[in-house]
Amino acid sequence: MKVKTQSKKVNKAWLNQHVNDPWVKLAQKEGYRARAAYKLKEIDETFRLLRPGQCVVDLGCAPGAWSQYVRRRLAPQGAPAGSLEGLIVGLDLLPMEPIEGVRYIQGDFREEVVLAQLEEALRLPDGRSRPVDVVVSDMAPNLSGVESVDAARIEHLVELAVAFARQHLKPEGALVAKVFHGGAYDGLVRLFRDTFRAVKPCKPKASRDKSAETFLVGIGLK
């Protein structure tokens, strides 16, 4: 009973913090599904990554806030619906409500059959693969609480995102990936530096202070 009571207190505290979060309120006001949209917004405004006409892949896209932001950036007038210039493909293990103009694939990014679906979505009429301008990855594993295990899971997902970027990005393209400070962080920074000409860490204001998450931005393939 004691554990259950503590759990209720923690859940109530989290819910209270969430409801009163200014980023959550702003997301509701502006029609985003999650506060995470403002993390990508700050990264985009800092590095000027997104613009109409691009091909963008959103890995770990559910519930869809990043895809919503990308969709607005690729629209001529920044609209959440209507005209769209470019291609957006989202992928996630979890289901996602449709977003106008976003092609969604549900599946596990670690599985070859799912990667094949993603590659098919990028295929041009002549059979060639459409080069990607930007890959954004908000993927995160279910954390076990065992640091070595979690570090390996995080590292694996980011390594997959980097491998996908190496294969599909334009030479001047960019990858944005969520990482966590901890056992895998230094190795992932080295991986980015081995892959991209410019590498910058970014901790957006919309990312909670207590969170160990940060984002690595790699621009221009080596």
> Do 92 and 129 share a domain, yes or no?
yes
What is the extent of the structural domain holding 16?
A: 1-30
For 63, 78, 115, 185, the CA distances from 94, given in Å and listed in that order, are 8, 27, 15, 26
The binding site for S-adenosyl-L-methionine consists of 64, 66, 92, 108, 138
Catalytic residue IDs: 178
**Overall number of domains in the chain:** 2
3-class SS at 126?
Answer: coil
User: Is residue 127 located within the same domain as residue 25?
Assistant: no
Binding residues: 64, 66, 92, 108, 138
Same domain as 68, residue 45: yes
Do 194 and 171 reside in the same domain of the chain?
yes
Whether residue 59 is found in the same domain as residue 116 = yes
Question: Per residue of the chain (222 residues), what is the pLDDT tens digit?
Answer: 333 334 454 465 545 555 568 889 999 999 999 999 999 999 999 999 999 999 999 999 999 999 999 999 999 888 888 889 999 999 999 999 999 999 999 999 889 999 899 999 999 989 999 999 999 999 988 777 777 777 788 899 999 999 999 999 999 999 999 999 888 899 999 999 999 999 999 999 998 888 889 999 999 999
CB 148 within 8 Å of CB 132: no
Query: Within this chain, do residues 112 and 42 fall inside the same structural domain, yes or no?
Result: yes
- Together in a domain, 26 and 46: no
CATH number of domain containing 210: 3.40.50.150
Q: Within 13 Å of residue 69, how many CA atoms lie on the same side as its CB?
A: 25
Claim to verify: residue 13 and residue 81 sit in the same structural domain: no
- 40 shares a domain with 17: no
Together in a domain, 25 and 113? no
For residues 59 and 106, state if they share a domain.
yes
On whether both 84 and 144 belong to a single domain, the answer is: yes
- What is the maximal distance between C-alpha atoms in the chain? 64
